[in-house]
Structure 1
Amino acid sequence: MSKKSIPILLLIIFLFFSSNSISLAHSKEKPNLLSEAAILIDVKSGQILYDKNPKKQMYPASITKIVTGIMAIEEGNLNDFVSVSKETTEVHGTRVYLVENETVELKRLVQGLLINSGNDAGTAIAEYFSGSESGFAARMNDFVKAKIGIIDSNFTNPHGLFDENHYTTAYDMAMISQYAMKNDIFKKIVGTKELNWNGEGWQTTIYNHHRMLWDYEGVTGIKNGYVSQSGFTLVTSAERDGMELIAVTLNAPSSRYAYDDTAALLDYGFNNFSSKMLSTDKVYLDESKNRYKIETPMIVTIPKNEEISENIRGNSLILIGEDGSVIFEQELRKLADPSEKQETKQSSLNEVKTNEHDLWIWKILHFFNLCNFTRP
């Protein structure tokens, strides 16, 4: 090797290792997204791991069908047959090409709705439940408020075609999806990659419109969407190493950016966080040695490779990260002081002894009274 080539070799080695160290150094940085709004949650703990404009009201497009699908599964009889109306066949956008007067099993409509994003399937479901899209929309709003507790969304139709009064937020869609994915039937349908479709007007194989089912390890669903007013919307669930995450992106400038942003969110979650179980057996002590426990076992999400400190503040458990930020807070149940229990027990014993003593005195006095009463 010549002397001139040595500096070049050293430069190559330096660039190689420095580029790797830069990658590692930035591994915990939050993703820089092009979507206007986004959120990442851990399904099991419910903790928010990332958000961007999470409460901004925006147009959802076809991710609306998540609400329609879970409602149909929970509140309908999936074995029922639904008669297709003329109005259903005239709906715009993506369809499964239902034919007027065709009868289709409700479960089949839900599959067409969630796998192939059939707007006509959504209208047929709405008419099955409420007779009209507007009637069903009112039912949708009641459902998400009563069952899930969200307050910043308003739905005017079952499929997501544009209406200025049809809106949601990234946070609300994460909560809706978290709820829906607890249902095994829903989860199986949104995770179906392809399905044979044998309708009167269409015989084909339908393929799930959510391309990350093929392209990202661990993805289990859920739904994509697009209308020009909403941009590209995407809700995605994925599971790895015992963690289950849901990512929502709204108003991405293109389908590719929606998928790229979602992959960045999921990478961020899986690479930088892990799950921890809090047991009801563990006793927590505050500075005054008061004892506490949690009421029920629960899972919390914590940063990987960090020292997490536990503090008791008031009657709550606080988990604090290395940067001083509060990761988790949970109210605890205060336990009785063992010494107080002992005092109470001793007091009870003394009370029993006192009662026994008083009883004997009463018996003796009662005996003498009887003697006096019966004297001749």
Structure 2
Amino acid sequence: MIKMCSTVLCIVIILSFFLPTAAMAIDVPSQSAILIEEKTGRILYNKNSETEMAMASTTKIMTAILALEYGNLDDVVVVGEEAANVEGSSIYIEKGDKITLEDLVYGLMLRSGNDAAYAIATHISGSLKNFVELMNEKAQIIGATNTNFTNPHGLYEKEHYTTAKDLALITQYAFRNEDFKKIMSAKKTDIKINNQVHTLYNKNKLLTGYDGGNGVKTGYTIDAGKCLVFSAEREGMQMIGVILRASDIWAESRILLDYGFEQYTTKNVMKKGEYITSIYVEDGINDQFKIISDENIDIPIKQGENIERVLNVNNIMAAPIYNKQRIGSVDFLIDGEIIYSKDLYSPQKVYEKDYLKFLRENLRDYFNILSQEIPIEALDIKWLDAS
């Protein structure tokens, strides 16, 4: 029997990379700005990014997220009077018009339609108030804790605010949705209002004016000033940036993107299929199992930076251990700061050596699988050897 212990295995591997890139200091006139790498969320540039500010139509990124997550893009929406009468930028829908939810989201993201935002909100939640509650709930889930929404379009209200960092987090979350990425990157599209075709052109000049530009949303009100959430991808490295109350959104976004692509290069620090560690099991029918990486992990680094890889796991665990049970994490650090953290999970269930309990759990798992109507050939049940 393996002696039970609660020690934590901590392996530190120093990975040093030296890149042939000169150091570069930059600044932009925006009152608040941030640039992150999308996969890891590493902050590559930061200026007052946690200052609460008005966000104008960059609000619509959250509105699009909720439309895509809670709605059916094929739904036909009948436009209400409130949506038709909302002020500001518009796709010119009228009360009683019929338009699909998908076309509303295109109108929201490409032309910044406030009417589209209002129509989406009432379609998804039944009322503006309910939709705003959903927006704030989602912000908390994402981790955008310094954000408060009071409307779905971004017209100025005192209690409608965010930070550049929170907008970057919201956009990073949105990038998990393939429909969002398709819509935000469209240079133009045709939509139908009452079966009449209308062509929309994207206001985002980076889509055609910057190499790799692929999103995401412009914004402007007198109170918020010029705002932009922007993105670009080169050689597999996806950047997301935010500038609030900018002087020139196009020039400043290019400066930040150039800085990111010139100063940082992604390096692979863990390969899919790579062996990570073994876990030894106390009183289990198996005495150990292996943890294998299920993804490639690439970290953005610049000249002279060292990456520490720290593995935090219990090296001895007691059975039973459940399939996909969290057993620890692997962290990647630069200068003591965690840049990316990956949770590690058990790849299998390990039963106790108590054979009666083992048999009961096997039977329970067997009938649970049958109740889910999984074909018998898909079962992988371990049975006792009666010999």
Q: Settle same-fold status: TM greater than 0.5.
A: yes
Task: Name the SS for the 1:77 alignment partner.
Answer: coil
| Aligned partner letter, 1:47 | R
| Aligned partner letter, 1:90 | N
Aligned match of 2:217: 223
Are residues 101 and 142 of structure 1, via their aligned partners in 2, closer, same or farther at CA, if it must alter by over 3 Å?
A: same
Are residues 197 and 162 of structure 1, via their aligned partners in 2, closer, same or farther at CA, if it must alter by over 3 Å?
A: same
Note if 1:267 corresponds to 2:258.
yes
| Aligned partner letter, 2:59 | T
Q: Structure 1 regions of 5+ residues with no counterpart?
A: 1-24, 284-292, 334-376
Note if 1:67 corresponds to 2:74.
no
Task: Give the C-alpha shift of residue 294 in structure 1.
Answer: 9.2
Contact 1:99 1:201 in 2 (8 A): no
Contact 1:318 1:326 in 2 (8 A): no
Contact 2:276 2:293 in 1 (8 A): no
| Inter-partner Cα distance in structure 1 for 2:343 and 2:217 | 38
The correspondence of residues 211-290 of structure 1 with structure 2, limited to 5 A, is: 211-253=205-247, 257-279=248-270, 280-281=274-275
* Deviation sequence 1:125-174 (CA, Å, 0-9, x none): 1111223322211111112212x122110001111001001001111111
Aligned match of 1:301: 299
Match of 2:161 among 134, 157, 167: 167
Task: Give the C-alpha shift of residue 274 in structure 1.
Answer: 1.3
Note if 1:121 corresponds to 2:116.
yes
The correspondence of residues 1-376 of structure 1 with structure 2, limited to 5 A, is: 27-146=22-141, 148-200=142-194, 204-253=198-247, 257-279=248-270, 280-281=274-275, 297=295, 299-306=297-304, 308=306, 310=308, 328=339
| Inter-partner Cα distance in structure 1 for 2:76 and 2:38 | 34
Are residues 101 and 326 of structure 1, via their aligned partners in 2, closer, same or farther at CA, if it must alter by over 3 Å?
A: closer
Greater CA drift, 211-220 or 310-319: 310-319
If asked which structure has higher relative contact order (CA below 8 Å, sep 6+), I would say 2
Task: Give the C-alpha shift of residue 326 in structure 1.
Answer: 5.1
Aligned match of 1:366: none
Between Structure 1 and Structure 2, which shows a larger proportion of helix residues?
A: 1
TM-score, L = length of structure 2: 0.69
| Aligned partner letter, 2:297 | I
Task: Name the SS for the 2:275 alignment partner.
Answer: coil
Are residues 241 and 68 of structure 1, via their aligned partners in 2, closer, same or farther at CA, if it must alter by over 3 Å?
A: same
| Aligned partner letter, 2:85 | E
| Inter-partner Cα distance in structure 2 for 1:163 and 1:73 | 25
Are residues 320 and 107 of structure 1, via their aligned partners in 2, closer, same or farther at CA, if it must alter by over 3 Å?
A: closer
Task: Name the SS for the 1:176 alignment partner.
Answer: helix
Are residues 307 and 105 of structure 1, via their aligned partners in 2, closer, same or farther at CA, if it must alter by over 3 Å?
A: closer
Task: Give the C-alpha shift of residue 64 in structure 1.
Answer: 0.4
Task: Name the SS for the 1:125 alignment partner.
Answer: helix
Task: Give the C-alpha shift of residue 121 in structure 1.
Answer: 0.4
Aligned match of 1:363: none
| Inter-partner Cα distance in structure 2 for 1:40 and 1:118 | 26
Higher gyration radius (CA): 1
Q: Structure 2 regions of 5+ residues with no counterpart?
A: 1-19, 278-290, 314-328, 345-387
Task: Give the C-alpha shift of residue 281 in structure 1.
Answer: 3.1
| Inter-partner Cα distance in structure 2 for 1:327 and 1:267 | 25
Task: Name the SS for the 1:109 alignment partner.
Answer: helix
* Deviation sequence 1:259-309 (CA, Å, 0-9, x none): 1111111111111111122224368xxxxxxxxx99765634343443636
Are residues 202 and 178 of structure 1, via their aligned partners in 2, closer, same or farther at CA, if it must alter by over 3 Å?
A: same
Are residues 327 and 229 of structure 1, via their aligned partners in 2, closer, same or farther at CA, if it must alter by over 3 Å?
A: same
| Aligned partner letter, 2:253 | T
Task: Give the C-alpha shift of residue 238 in structure 1.
Answer: 0.8
Are residues 88 and 281 of structure 1, via their aligned partners in 2, closer, same or farther at CA, if it must alter by over 3 Å?
A: same
Between Structure 1 and Structure 2, which shows a larger proportion of strand residues?
A: 2
| Inter-partner Cα distance in structure 2 for 1:320 and 1:126 | 41
| Aligned partner letter, 2:41 | G
* Deviation sequence 1:38-67 (CA, Å, 0-9, x none): 111111122111111111111010010000
| Aligned partner letter, 1:252 | A
* Deviation sequence 1:294-329 (CA, Å, 0-9, x none): 9765634343443636486998988777xx675747
TM-score, L = length of structure 1: 0.71
**Percentage of matched positions with identical amino acids:** 39
Greater CA drift, 272-281 or 241-250: 272-281
Are residues 73 and 312 of structure 1, via their aligned partners in 2, closer, same or farther at CA, if it must alter by over 3 Å?
A: closer
| Aligned partner letter, 1:275 | T
Contact 1:97 1:202 in 2 (8 A): no
Contact 1:110 1:121 in 2 (8 A): yes
| Aligned partner letter, 2:147 | S
